[in-house]
Structure 1
Amino acid sequence: MASLLAASSFSLQLRIFQSPRTKTIKTLDSVQVPAIRCSLNSNQTLKTCKICKTQFDPLLNHPRACRFHTAHFGGETKRKFESVYTGGTMNTPDSGQVFQYWHCCGSEDPFDPGCTAAPHSSYDD
């Protein structure tokens, strides 16, 4: 198997804002990442996966090639815990700040690669 490494590169900007659970701030700005094209043949046309939106070589596709989440990334606020019986908001952890996570697996990392794996599926399928 041969791989073709593209000569171009792109800039990646990543920001992870303060999490109420971890109390950390992580930032990574303008990191140059080489664009990589994996293919058996440099003339092979790559397809775009309709699930994860990455390009892939159909000849290299396998049952765990595509990683994705089956639900959305979102959060809940203190309002969810309001009590209709006591007429107010109950005391909640994190002072009612938004707690965000993947609703399918509970991961708090917005850049988690995915909790489900399947073969890539192109728009041509």
Structure 2
Amino acid sequence: MESGQKAEERVGEGDERIEVCKRCKITFSTSSNSSSSCRFHPSFFVCRRHDDQKRYYELGPDDPPYAAKFYDCCGAEDPEAAGCTTSFLVSYDDV
């Protein structure tokens, strides 16, 4: 009888699925996904001289003088910085 109840619970939940976003790695339910749910960086965290040749990015003591570490999309220097772009959450199952 318990297995029948579990099946009814799953049917009663409708199309609700729990997914993991492949961009920001948070767990979400498909029904709560909106155009501002995912916050991410669309580019990579890089270590190189900035294109404009200025050295206004903070360098570590072991970094060569030409190196800069930042997100290429927004210039944030902290690798753990909140994303600069928002969009819908994207599941690994999405194509």
Query: In 2, Cα distance between the equivalents of 1:64 and 1:114?
Result: 11
- Sequence identity of aligned pairs in percent? 34
Candidates 82, 89, 93, aligned match of 1:113: 82
- What is the root-mean-square deviation of aligned Cα atoms in Å? 2.5
Query: In 2, Cα distance between the equivalents of 1:96 and 1:124?
Result: 43
1:54 is matched with: 26
Paired residue total: 70
CA-CA distance at 1:97 after TM superposition? 6.0
Query: Does residue 44 of structure 2 align to residue 75 of structure 1?
Result: no
Matches within 5 A, 1:1-125: 45-76=17-48, 96=65, 98-125=67-94
Q: Which has the higher strand share?
A: 1
The alignment partner of 2:46 has SS state of strand
CA-CA distance at 1:45 after TM superposition? 4.0
- Alignment gaps of 5+ in structure 1: 1-40, 82-91
The alignment partner of 1:123 has SS state of coil
Normalising by structure 1, report the TM-score: 0.47
Normalising by structure 2, report the TM-score: 0.60
- Alignment gaps of 5+ in structure 2: 1-12
2:8 is matched with: none
Regions of 4+ moved over 2 Å: 92-95
